[in-house]
A = this chain, B = another copy of it.
């Protein structure tokens, strides 16, 4: 069996760039049994996809994603398309015997997610979902502290993911604002990350009650395939925003913990504010993606008079993944969360063990997204059990 894993990537925008960089750089930092090869980049616009393939180092391009999945040389399908395409592509890829990594949220809706998880389970292939923020060394270290019991039983979490890129009413109606393509708005786009972090660190959510709001209900129609920084075009036609601009919910966890969650793209001054604070019996932790190398840790058991949050720069050799990079205090950034994730993906492929987060995580996450959305529609608490 070859030591190379040929990658077919479907989609070539923001996430395509992030994933490509990760495949390129992972072997520079980590030794893995298998190494990634950027084989085929796939997209409908031939010119654009060729340009991206050149920039990112793919060997070839394709405009028909089905051909990529059928290609016997491809080992791993990486799905970085808008959400409504995840299910069909992932299912086809798994059924064609490929490993799959899929961007989050897993699917457009719960129904698709259930099917995807089932196919993945039966396929025996690696099927990973790209919740990259788990892979920040500070988050992995938080997980370790919690697992070791350093915080005791977890009681509370407050998780926010705050951005502000939609504040401008002139910002056009990209696919991320169209329910048919994206499922939900801030909820599925960024709230899904908060849910994943909470599930990773605390456990399963059992009940939610939510409040979803769309502040700007009409926007100029624009280039639907733009990334986060789409600029207004000359178009003066207006279209409906069909997803939430902000999603707030309360949650109960299986282990008795409770929490507040909020995702918003209208929180002025917050550029990428993926943050959480977790309180346990014995201590607390705080994290903020905008200073992602730092973890703040409080121990109730510290010496009297010397209690206080410690600001830990998780770039020491002892911190997860950190020894692969630079000396202490030489920080890493956003893209390294993907590199660490790809490291685990390739170890999984090599060891034939399913790395986390997998499609079960994706499904559980989608159940929460679904329950949150339903709660908002029904104006009531929603048990995750009832949506399963």
Contacts and interface: CB of A to CB of B under 8 A. Distances in A.
Interface of A: 14, 18, 20-21, 24-25, 27-28, 31, 55-57, 141, 155-156, 158, 160, 163-165, 167, 209-211, 213, 215, 227-229, 246, 248-250, 252, 258-260, 262, 264, 266-273, 277, 279-284, 289-293, 297-298, 300, 302, 304-313, 315-319, 326-336, 379-381
Contacts of A279: 264, 266-268
Contacts of A21: 25, 28
24 contacts: A14-B327, A18-B326, A20-B28, A24-B28, A155-B215, A156-B246, A209-B211, A209-B250, A210-B250, A260-B262, A267-B284, A269-B283, A269-B284, A269-B308, A271-B313, A272-B329, A273-B329, A304-B318, A305-B312, A307-B316, A309-B311, A310-B311, A330-B333, A331-B333
A18 B29 CA distance: 11
A211 B256 CA distance: 12
A300 B164 contact: yes
Contacts of A302: 310
Contacts of A246: 155-156, 258
B312 A307 contact: yes
Contacts of A229: 317, 327-328
A343 B56 CA distance: 16
Nearest to A245: B155
Contacts of A155: 213, 215, 246, 266
Nearest to A210: B250
Nearest to A318: B305
A298 B227 contact: no
Given A28-B55, A271-B313, 13 more contacts: A14-B326, A158-B262, A164-B300, A248-B260, A264-B279, A268-B279, A268-B300, A297-B306, A297-B308, A307-B312, A326-B335, A332-B333, A333-B333
Given A28-B55, A229-B327, A333-B336, A250 B248 contact: yes
A35 B31 CA distance: 26
A328 B271 contact: yes
Nearest to A291: B291
A165 B28 contact: no
Contact of A329 (B20, B163, B310, B316): B163
Nearest to A18: B326
Contacts of A297: 306, 308
Given A227-B327, A266-B279, A306 B310 contact: yes
A299 to B, nearest CB: 8
Nearest to A20: B28
Contacts of A329: 163, 270-273, 289-290
A318 B303 CA distance: 11
Contact of A167 (B268, B277, B300): B300
Contacts of A311: 308-311
Contacts of A160: 158
* Most chain B CB within a 10 A radius of its CB, from A249, A260, A264: A260
A114 to B, nearest CB: 27
